[in-house]
Amino acid sequence: MSAQFPLTLNNVLVRRQGKTVLGPVDHVLNAKGATIIIGPNGSGKTTLLRVMHGIERTTGGQVTWAQDDPAKHAFVFQTPIVMRRSVAKNLAYPLELLRVSKDEIAASVDHWLARIGLERSRNSPATRLSGGERQKLAIARALIRQPDVLFLDEPCASLDGHATREIEHLLKEVASAGTRLVMATHDMGQARRLANDLVFLLDGKIHETGSADALFAAPATAELAAFLRGDIVT
């Protein structure tokens, strides 16, 4: 179990241009499993992820790790970011920053290229990859540092079924191996496949949270029930 956890959010508030976009939020994130954040567009899913990761400045409240080590958490954005260099060099870059030995870098790059099925593209410019390949590369580049927790903001939002299936398979593997996943998604099928617990955001606040199995089977509020039916919830 990672010494970083729990992650505690206490009365967290984010305001932009005089408008509250998140909060107040109180939540405790423990060390195991996959937390999936759901809610209507504009409900604050991305902001909550960014607050947890530490790249969003809060207006009020506290975000506290039991033992904070920024090197032990990583973030994957909805639109994959790749550098103008080869696929292999994209993967190597985070380890180069950590001054890992060349032999270790080479072994890790080979491992992850095989794991995401991009061995044949290792020397190709990353910018030439398809959308699904870019997202797999972005996830592998985040995971190559062996983070304790991985935050993902709708990583499959614009991908086809095949690419989505490959990414979900990878995420299930790393979660089973102990990496803590916290992910926002608009895809309820994906949430059912991946979630151990759910966080349902509405109007910038946590409206309901708990075991995924329990909430999918019997949501406690009319709003979550309506959202899961596909109704428009405002």
The residue whose two tokens read 């969003």 is 56
* The pLDDT of residue 143 is above 90: yes
Cβ atoms of 23 and 61 closer than 8 Å: yes
Q: How far apart are the first and last CA of the chain?
A: 38
CA distance readout (Å), 113 to 100, 121, 138, 233: 18, 9, 12, 42
Q: 215 in helix, strand or coil?
A: helix
pTM of this structure: 0.94
pLDDT bracket for residue 1 (50, 70, 90): low
CA nearest to 148, candidates 180, 184, 173: 180
Burial (CB < 10 A; 0-12, 13-18, 19+), residue 201, is buried
DSSP 79: S
* The pLDDT of residue 209 is above 90: yes
For the stretch 111-135, pLDDT in tens is 999 999 999 999 999 999 999 999 9
Superfamily of domain 7-82+129-229: P-loop containing nucleotide triphosphate hydrolases (3.40.50.300)
Q: What percent of the chain has pLDDT over 90?
A: 88
Q: What is the location of CATH 3.40.50.300 in the chain?
A: 7-82+129-229
Q: Which two tokens stand for residue 211?
A: 């075991």
Q: Which residues contact 138 (CB under 8 A, 6 or more apart)?
A: 76, 77, 80, 81, 82, 155
